[in-house]
Structure formats: C-alpha cells, structure tokens
Amino acid sequence: MSYRKGSKVWVEEKGEGWLEAEVVDAKERAVVVLTSQRKKISVLPEKLLPRDTDEDLGGGHVDDMTKLTYLNEPGVLYNLKRRYALNEIYTYTGSILIAVNPFTRLPHLYNEYMMEQYKGVRLGDLSPHVFAVADASYRAMVNDSRSQSILVSGESGAGKTETTKLIMRYLTYVGGRAVLDDRSVEQQVLESNPLLEAFGNAKTIRNDNSSRFGKFVEIQFDKTGRISGAAIRTYLLERSRVVQINDPERNFHCFYQLCASGKDAELYKLGHASTFHYLNQSKTYELEGTNNEDEYWKTKRAMDIVGISRSDQDAIFRTLAAILHLGNIEFSPGKESDSSKIKDSTSNFHLQMTATLLMCDPDLLVSSLCSRSIHTNEGIIIKALDCAAAVANRDTLAKTVYARLFDWLVENINKSIGQDVDSKAQIGVLDIYGFESFKHNSFEQFCINFANEKLQQHFNEHVFKMEQEEYKSEKINWSYIEFIDNQDMLDLIEKKPIGIIALLDEACMFPKSTHVTFATKMFRNLSSHPRLEKTKFSETDFSISHYAGKVTYQTDSFLEKNRDYIVAEHCNLLSSSRCPLLSGLFTSLPEESVRSSYKFSSVASRFKQQLQALMETLSSTEPHYVRCVKPNSVNRPQLFENQSVLHQLRCGGVLEAVRISLAGYPTRRTYAEFVDRFGVLVPELMLGSYDERALTESVLQKMKLDNFQLGRTKVFLRAGQIAILDVRRAEVLDNAARRIQGRFRTFIARKEFVKTKEASISVQAYCRGCFARKMYKIMRETAAAIILQKHVRRLIVQRNYQEACSAALLIQSCIRGFIARRYFSTIREQKAALVIQSFWRKRKVAMLFQHYKRATIAIQCAWRQKLARKELRKLRMTANEAGALREAKNKLEKKLDDLTLRLTLERRIRAAGEETKLVEISKRDKIIETLSAECAAAKSSARSEHDKNLLLQRQLDDSLGEIAMLRSNKILKAEEEKQNSNLKNIVKSLSEKNSLLENELSTARKSSDDTMEKLKDVEGKCTHLQQNLVKLQEKLTNLENENHVLRNKAFNISPKTVSEVLPFYNPLKFSKFSASIGLPNSEQKHIFETPTPTKHLAPIPHSTGTRRQKLPVERHEGNHEILSRCIKENLGFKDGKPVAACIIYKCLLHWRAFESERTAIFDHVIEAINDVLKAKEADGRLPYWLSNTSALLCLLQKNLRSNGFFGTPSRRSAGSLGLGGRTGQVRNPACQLFSLSLVGRGDTLAQVDARYPAILFKQQLTACVEKIFGQLRDNLKKEISPLLSVCIQAPKSTRAQPGKASKSPGAGAQQPSNSHWDNIVNFLNLLMDTLRENYVPSFFIRKLITQLFSFINIQLFNSLLLRRECCTFSNGEYVKAGLSLLEKWITDVTEEFAGTSWHELNYIRQAVGFLVIHQKRKKTLEEISQDLCPSLSIRQIYRICSMYWDDKYNTQGISNEVVSAMREMVNKDTANLVSNSFLLDDDLSIPFSTEDLSMAIPATDYADVELPECLHLHPSVQFLLKVS
C-alpha cells in the first residue's frame, strides 16, 4: 500500500507495542513518520499499518471492534485502551466479549437493577456487558432448546473467577426458583465458588486468588427455564503446590484459614502458619484486604449450604491439619545404610498428631514413610528408604491425600446439588487457565498450553462459523476463504505413537529413563516438525511455536510430574483409618496391584482424556466466549500496559480471530454508511434520489477494486481496500479544501482592497471637515465672548440685590420665630399643670372608694360567717339523729371507688397524648419567645434611631441659630469690607456643615424606614407562627376528643368483662393506637393493600352471655345485598357525582351505621370492593373505583363528626346544633327522612357523630384509595413501557440512512419517525379521556400524570446511559423533538391536570440539551455541571461524555482535560458512596396523604343523586325513593 504525506498510520515500537504516527515524507523505499512522542522515524512501508483518520470523532472508540475501519492489531489494542480509560471494561469483538480487569470496585455495573436492564435484551442493543453474554446464552437455550456453553479464559489475575461468578449469578437471577430454605440449587451453585476457591485457589506472583485448577460448571434447566440441577467438573489440580511453594506465593487458602480459626486450630494443635514447613517456604501469610478467620467461617457456611455434614466437615479439617503436621516430620539417617528414622522429639510429636488426626496406627505410619515393601514369589521384601526418599515419600502421601480430598469435595458438591437426569438443556460455564509463558516453563505449563491449543481450535471453528453465517445471511460467495487451523500443533502433542505425550508416557514406563533420554528420543522422532525447535544452549529444552507465540519448556521434571504413583503402603495405611471419609477415599488395592509397591499412572494421558471429554461436551453446545485481560502487572486501576495486553490478546485468541476475519472480508459497512463516507468520490451521482447499493457499486468500480462482495444490506471489502478508498477520499477532500481556500483567499484580498479604498476617502473627507469646523469655531467664540460679558455684568448686579433682600427677610423671620416659641412654651406649661391636677383629684377619689369597698366586704363576710355557724349547728344535730344516712354514705363511697378506678384508667389513656401535646406546645412557645425577643430588639433599635434623629434635629436648629446671628452681624458691619469677607467665609462653612447634617438626617430617616420594614416582617412572621400555633392547638384538641371517644368506648364495657373481651388490652399501647388514628403519621410508607380490621386492631370477640345488647344497626345486617349490588354493578355518574358512592353513604347514614359501637357492615363493604378489584376485568374499572372510593372518603371526612376525628371542630348555628344533637334520639320515621334530606347541603347542615367502627372504616377506605391509585399507576407504566422501548429503539432504525440525513446540515431538528412519539401522545390523550369520563378528581389526575412523566424521564434517561447508539447527536435531536410534543401536550391539558410534569423531565431534558449543543470541546466543567446540567451528578455527566459521539456532523466531543477532571472526581467519590450507580430509580410511593385529599377534593352534594331504576324493587332502599 502506498502512503502519502499526512496519512495517519501505526508504527511498531518495542516498549509500547504500537505508536500513533503521521507520515511527513513518503519516498520510494522508505517512509518518514512523526510519532506521538514527537520523534521522526524512517521505516519500510510494509511495517506500517493504516489508522482511521476519523477515529477521534464519535468518542474515539467503538463498543464492537468489528466496527473498526481498520481491523488490525493496534486498532484493537488502542480501542481497548481508550475504553478502559473511561471505565468501559467490556468490549465486543462480534459475539466475543473482552473483559479488562478494572482492579477497582464498580458496584453500579453489577446490581440487580443492571441485571433487570439486560434481561431479555438482544446482544448488542445495550452497552457490552458480561450479563449480555449470559442472557444471550440463556435465551438461546430457552428458544432453541439447545445446550449452551460460556468459555471464560485469561491469564492469572485477569478476573476469570470473578467473571464466572457474575455469569452464574445472572443465570441464577433469570433461572432461579424461589425457595424458603437456604439449600436451593442456585444458592448451592453460587456457594460452591468460595468453597472451591478455598481448596483450589492460591496466591501467585500475578494474582492473590489464582485458580490452580480448571472448572466446568454445568447448570441444568427444566422445560420452563428454571434451574433444576448442576454439576461441577475439575481439571488438573496443581498438587505440587501442597508441598512446594516459592516466595512470595502461598499454598492453598484453606491451610491458612484453618491456622487462623482460633479454637478449632487449638483443637488440632495448630499454631501460626509460619510454624509449618509446607507454609513457611514463603514469607507471605496474609493477603491484603482479607481476614483468614472470617474466610474460614465463610468456608464452613458454604459447606453447610452445599450439604456437607458436620462430621464430614470435621474430617476434612482434621485431614488438612494432618497434612500440615505431616510436612513437619523430619528424618535422620538410621543405623543401617540407606535407612532413615524420625529425627527428634518434635518430629515425633508431629508424627503422633498426624496419626491421631488420620485415625491410623502411628507405627504403620512410620513404616509407610521410612520403608517400602516389594512382593515377590518367595515372599515380601521390606526395603528401607534413605532420608531423601523418605521425604519424597512423605510429600507423595501429602499430595495424594489432598488430591483425593479435593476430588471427594467436588463429588460431594455434585451429589448435594443434585443432577437433573431429565434435563434437556444445560448451560456450561468453563473457567480454565489461560495460555502461560514464563521464564521457566515446566510440565504444568505444557499441559495448560495444550488445553488452550484445543480450546483455540474450537474457538477458531466457532469464529469461522460465525463468519460463514454472516456471509450466508448476506448471500455472498465465501467458498474460497481459507480456514486457519492448528491441527498440526495438536498432532505434535497428542498424536500416537510419536506425539510428545506418547513419548513421555513411554519414557515413564522405564524406571531408568531420565529427561535426557526423553528429550533425545523426542528430537530424533520429531525434529522435522515445523513447530518444534531445539534450543541452542540446552540439550534437553525444547520450544514449541504455539498460536500465541513460541514457548521454551524445561524437561527436568517432566517425568516425575507425569508419574502419578499409587503407593500400596499409603493405600493400606489410610484404608485402615477409623475415619469413614478417609477410608472411603483409599479403598484396598486389587491382588495384582499389591505385588508392586508403586502403580504408575500417566497424568498427561489422563488429562488428555478429560480434555477430550470436555471438547466433546463443548462441541454439543453452542459456545459463547469471554476473554479476560489483565491490564497491568501491578494490579493498579487506570494503568494500561500495551505490551502485556497485546501479549494477552495473542494468547486469548483475539488476534487470531482478527486474522480469521482478515482472511475473508474484514471490512463490512452498511450501504448507508459506505455512501455517507465515500459518496464524495462520485458527486455527480449524489444529486437527487439514488439507490445506495447501486451507488456503492459505482464507487467501487470507479476505484477499480476487485474481489469485493455486495450483500443484502452490507458491502464486504477485502483487507487493504478500505485504505485505498480512504486515500482517494483524502485526495478528493484535500483538493476540495484547496479550492475552498483559494476562493476564500480571493474573497479576503478583495475585501481588504475595498476596505482600504473606503478608508482613504473617509480620511480625506474628515480632514476637510476638521479645517472648516476650526474656522467656524473661531467665529463662534468671538460672538459668544460678547454675549458672555453682557450676561456677567447683569449677574453681578442681580446677585448684590438678592443678597440685600435675603438678609432683610432672614432678620424678620428670626424675630417672629423667637416670639412664637416663647408663646408656645407658656401655653404648654399651663396645660401640663391642668393635667397633673386632674390626675391627682382622680387618684384621691379612687383611694377613698377602695377604702369603703373593703370595709363593706369585711362586714358582709362576718355576717355570712355567723349565719353559717348557725346552719352548721343545725346539721350536726340532724346528723346525730338520722342513722339512715349511713347507707347513703356507703353508696357514695362505692361510687367514689368506681370513679377513682375510672380516673386511673383515664389518666393512663391520656398519658401518651398529653406528653405529645406538651412537647409540641413547648416547642411552639420557644419559637414564639425567640421571635418576641427579636421583635423587642427591633423595636429598641427603632427607638434608638428615633432618638438620634431628634439629636440631629436639635443640632440643625442650633446651626440655624448660629447662621442667623452671623447674618445679623453681617448687616451691622456691612461697611467694613474685610469683616464682610470673613463673615462670608464663615457663612459658607456653616452652610456646608448644614448640608452635611441634612444628609445625615436623610440617612437616619432611611435607616429608620428600613428598620420599620424589618420590624413589620418580624411581626408578620410572628403572626404566621401564632396562626400555626392555633392550628396545632386545634389538632391537639382533636386528639383529646379522639381519646375521649375511645375512653367512652372503654368505659361502656363493664369491669368484669374487660379481661374477657379485651385480653390483649394494654393502656399504653391503646393510647398510642388511638393517637395514631387521630393524627396519622405522614412519614409511614404507603402500601397497596387494603387492610382488614385485624391489621389495625384485634377484633373484639362477640360475647355469648345474656348481657349482650343487640344494637339497632344489627337489624340491618341483612341489607348487605344492596351494598354488594351497588359495588358490583356500574351505576355510572350523575352530574359528575358517582352514584354508587352516594347510594352507599345514604344507606349507611340511614341505617345509623356510623353511630354503632359494633357492626360488620363496614368490613363487608371493604371486602366487596377488594373482590371487585381482584376480578379479571378490574384493570378497566380502576378509574371508576378511584372516583367512587375517593368520593365516599370525602363524604366521610366532610359530613361525619367524631369529636375531631375528621376535621376541625364544627362551628354551627343554633338550629343546626339542635338538629344534630337530637339525631341519635329521633324515633319518628318522618323525622328521620326529613333529617336525611337535609344532610349534606352545605355548611349549614348537621354532621353525624361517628363511633370507632366508622373511624376504622375511614382508615380502610383510605388504604383502598391508595391501593387503587397504585394499581392504576403501575398499569399505566406497563402500558407505556413498550411505547418507550420503541422510541428508544427508533434511533437505531432511523440511522440506517445516515448518508441522506448528513447531507443537509442546515436542516432543523429531526422529526420523530414512524409517529412513535405520536403514539405516546395518543396514549396520554386516551388516558385523559378515560379519567375525565369517570370524573376522576383533578387532584388524582395531576398526581398520576406527574408520576407517569417521572417514569418517562427515568426510562429515557437510563436508556441514554446504557445504549451507546442513544447517546448521539441525532438521537438528541430525535428525543428533543419528542419532548417538544410532550411539552405541547402538557400545555394543552393545562396545569390543573399536568401539574409539575414538565419539571419531572429535568434529567432527560438537560441530558438531551447537552447532546445537541455545538462546540462541546470549548465547554468547561463548571459550565457543564452548573449551567447545562445542574440536576445531573458528575458520575452521570461523565457517563454521557464517555459514550457520546456525533453521528451527524462528526465533530469532537468534550475535551480530554474535562473528561480527565471528571474521571478523577468519579474515582475519588467511588470509595465514599454506598451505591455509586449512575441510573435513576423509580419512585413507587403514594404521593398524597389523607389531609391532602380532604383539602384538595371538593365536597360532594349527594342529596340530589337519585336511586337507579335497577334497584327500585329492593326493599332495603325504599326510604331513598320516599326522600326523592
């Protein structure tokens, strides 16, 4: 490919992998480029790769790397790097998900709300996420009834285990079943992770929680898609880690957890981990951020959940402790040569502990460690082992015990979880080690890389299959595309009889074989293989060219690690154990195996068989791939090492998938995108309407390109063809730019010439004008001087006359003022004397009157005392004679006792209410005292200001007096000119002083006015608080009245039956309950369930005794049928009034149900309404019942009086008071009908006294209104959700033709396509019509519409943050146009019904406004956060900035400096936030209270509502016909 100056390219660099560069000089054989580090490099054209010129547009990154213009290695690398810098850790490559470990907490990505967002969404519709892959596999399994598999791979520390946990967590979320216990299948599957981590994970150099085994979790589902079983398979546990570790690595986690377990560790004689040989080979005992003791108890709880019994748990931990003690057994040379014995007492202690924990014979344990038996025909030969062999024998026992324990654990987990034999579909999650290449690579790395080669072949087949499927769907020819395969690599390793594994097994069969003989035979048989090489500096090392690169293996320990000996002594020892678990792990060997002490088994062959079985399982499923990437080696966030990531992309097969794509058609574009980008190459065809497919073909033919393919919707280009098109496009754009620049320079030059010419003419005219104006000015000044002299002479004469005249007037005014003040002083003194005399005379008469009054009262008291004594003597005489009064006295004493008992009960009941009242009154008193103090301070400041004003006035009078004196002196001494001038100076200074004093006076007056205004404000506040205090006192009065009603109810029950009728009674609780009825707490959460009476107060049982009095209302319990008909039938409305509510209220009022102490009629009404709401057609009748229940509730609040329960105390006229007071005593039916016809006619009508059942009925009805409102709101949200989803998906479909849209940049906002927004408006219009037809009060309509618009705001805003195709310029215009329709609708329905709905859309309005503004790059962080998006958080703004791209004008987004500042703020706040989600949560609360209903809904006049004809024949409502 040829490069031209200015081309953007990638240049390879050792340290960074690839660098961004720009061509500065293109020669024949070399190209000079300028890198991003400002260095010039000369390279060959073949070593350069093209870079997209428009990569900085559209956010600089893509969420699917198949969308990259140039699908090459540096493009993939830098796309991941840019997304990682924005905390976008997930990226697609087709259907493959790449997950980069963030090394920080991102809880907002994994909460339940996020799982709900990805539930049922097609892969690619939302931002890349591991939940999307899990959901795609689950949906494919449910829809196609085919098993799925998810393959998670990556190097140690890349996050494979966490990703697997997230996948399993999501699968249990969508496929879990609700159970009550703690042993559900999904819970056991999840809890198996920490259990297997404890026994199979360890710290390595690269990762603190590295899985040292492969794991395949198979989750089984039933026909309904619910989890029905699970199974776990493990591969190649790293057994050598049990006995040998390197610093700073650790052994398996379970050993450290057991050592830190406290009492359990003491039970097994365990100390700190540093005291055991198997653990102290590394000095790392603790992990940062992890507590070993806490992890121990988590592991035990996991064992409980997966069903491991306590006895088995004890056996497991005893076995672990035995392994640790076994490692501390040391050996010393024995008496015989090549023999060994236990070294010392310490080793003997650990030996005894090992035998005790393993429950076996200590002597047999020593024998199995220090000797080996050989079975021959002559008998058994016992061979002693030297120290080195004994140590190896000890380590072999430890590894064997641990490996079998791990296998038992996995098997037991599978048994506990249970497999569903009838399951037809499964989802398997494979968490397996990634490709490994270290400085020293041994047998483990060979097996791991062999497994990855197998998986890579499966991966290549899958990628090639996906490519074929896309080619087939587009109907293009793909038969000649070459398939990249690594079968030769697999043949080198596993082919028989000369594969590496076969040669290794053959070498292990011979005891005298060494790694040298193995390597020699391998090189002799496989030296011609192209992928195998012999190293230069070693005779035994070999290198294999894997798909991810060349790896050199050291064969030193290949043979030892491949031999898995079964030692007969070990099996016999542990099979004789008294521990059932251990004896079950080591069954007795068959007869032929006993003859050999060591039974050989090939680890590599067994692993190959397991791997073959895994591949067969994967081949029978549809695979999904997740490639985990570790961004850096120091486990730090926001650090991206290019070379490390590039190596992992090669190892993970991502670049292999790129190579497969390059073998076919790596560049694929929709016709609209292709025309939009390359339509400039054929401008003559772009005019008018055109066929995009034909236009695409014309462009390619004009460029003389071959081997391209035209599909149904896309054009497919071979590798390098897009670069040729880009070069030609750049040339066309450069030529156009030069032409535009030439025309623009011509325009600028001509503009400058015309401007210069006009300037010279203007200068000439200006000079001539200046000369003429100067001559005119001289002539004008001469004439003006003459006029000025005349006026000055006149002014001097006039001033002398005015001074003489003013002096005379001043003298006269001063003399007159003096005389007037003296006269006024005389009059004021006379008036004051008269006032003093009058007050003194009045005081003297008043004192005399008080003296006479006291004397009279004393005389009267003395006379009354005398009469009282006489009466007392008579009464004493009568009392001594009348003995019959004793009986009356006893009665009075009994009555006093009863009253005392009632008074005690009353005090207890009033305790809670009075305490609350006293606290509220004390708070109000403190507030009033504070305001009174402020008012007094303000008044005192006003008085001080007034005093200052008086002082200034006096000073002014004094100064005026001084002026008068000076002026008189001036008149007397006018003849002396010198004194006259001095007096003028004095007068001038005094006048200045006078002006200063006047200014001070005006300032003082202004401050006084301000003070008075402040005083008025304080008085207003004081008045307002006094009004609030009055309202509070009224509420307290209502509370007292309520307590009084409940006390009367309690007193009506006889003391004998109190304990029988109310066994639950508690005075304190009852007082609190009564307080809650009278003054409900508005802060309590509203629930959508109509409570029965038992939810508020236990029902009073009906007494079966003879004392039960049947109330009159019980006679009407047979009338329940008429109420049921009113509720079940739709009676409609009359003049906007709900007929059912009015009829029910009239009946209850006529039957005097509200005055009854006990009745079940209210419960019947509530139950009937609940039954109607539970019916199938209830959703359509919700507006009808919202109108009826709210009207009935308002009738109760307005027309019932229960001593303050339903409002403020009524202020009625005398007539109404009499009528209401006698309602309970009227027995004449005519009087009853007359009173019924008057109830409800305004404020002048009587209110009915209500008892406790009516109060409870009102509460139940309130809950019913809230339930209906909540159901109606939730139904509306469900109905509008599909419409919003279509609007959210609409930008994706409208963007299918960007080529035509982008050619008209001057066009206005994009109009909503396909009338999606019109559908929402039509839905809102239909809703308003339905609510108005059912006469729903405007208060409820306003609340409903407000919450509905809040839901619209949440859905649109969350979709904006989750879908990258929604976070674009064109989508901003699209949503803005839709919001304008909603704004118009809100304006049309008026504020009465819409309320604050427009303000509920604040979040989406500000976000859309940010999307559609131009020149975003010039906006600072303060302008964005304070002016453009004040309601949005920094995290939300950062999310929008990171996802935004301009798909219309291809302009750049927010500057990198602003994005970096926001990222720092987000990272800083992440640690402080409990939930740092950027999404909005839906509000499910009820937005009103009972008091709001009583104030907002007007009263209903139910008197003129007639009975419907369908109810005329019912006998229970004949009274309504008589009334009408």
Catalytic residue list: 156-157, 161, 207, 210-211, 434, 436
The DSSP output letter for 681 is G
Structure tokens at 356: 């005790």
Contact, 1335 vs 1133, CB < 8 A? yes
622-629 and 96-100 beta bridge pairing: parallel
Contacts of 666 (CB under 8 A, 6+ apart): 71, 658, 717, 718, 719
Report the alpha-carbon distance of residue 513 to residue 559 in Å, rounded: 8
CA distances from 1017 to 493, 803, 1006, 1010, 1014 (A): 94, 51, 17, 11, 5
Structure tokens at 470: 């896309």
If residue 1166 lies in a helix (H) or strand (E), which one and from where to where? helix 1161-1174
Report the alpha-carbon distance of residue 1290 to residue 1314 in Å, rounded: 8
Q: Which amino acid, 1357? A: F
Report the alpha-carbon distance of residue 1329 to residue 39 in Å, rounded: 71
Report the alpha-carbon distance of residue 1310 to residue 1313 in Å, rounded: 8
Tokens 């390109």 found at: 705
Tokens 């002016």 found at: 1427
Which stretches within 1102-1138 are classed as H helix?
1120-1128
Report the alpha-carbon distance of residue 862 to residue 758 in Å, rounded: 122
Report the alpha-carbon distance of residue 657 to residue 663 in Å, rounded: 10
CA distances from 808 to 815, 915, 921, 994 (A): 11, 81, 72, 21
Report the alpha-carbon distance of residue 312 to residue 409 in Å, rounded: 10
Report the alpha-carbon distance of residue 1089 to residue 1493 in Å, rounded: 19
Cα distance between the two ends of the chain = 99
Contact, 647 vs 627, CB < 8 A? no
Tokens 């139950």 found at: 1167
CA atoms within 13 A on the CB side of 877: 6
Structure tokens at 293: 């003791």
CA atoms within 13 A on the CB side of 1366: 27
- The angle subtended at Cα 513 by Cα 511 and Cα 514, nearest 5°, is 125
Burial string for 884-906 (b: 16+ CB within 10 Å, else e) reads eeeeeeeeeeeeeeeeeeeeebb
Contact, 399 vs 319, CB < 8 A? no
Tokens 């190097």 found at: 155
Positive or negative, the CA dihedral 354, 360, 366, 368 is negative
Q: Which amino acid, 16? A: E
The DSSP output letter for 47 is G
- 3 state SS of 279: coil
Burial string for 193-204 (b: 16+ CB within 10 Å, else e) reads bbbbbbbbbbbb
40-43 and 380-384 beta bridge pairing: unpaired
Which neighbouring-strand residues pair with 201?
Answer: 211
Report the alpha-carbon distance of residue 455 to residue 160 in Å, rounded: 16
Cβ atoms within 10 Å, residue 274: 11
Report the alpha-carbon distance of residue 203 to residue 211 in Å, rounded: 9
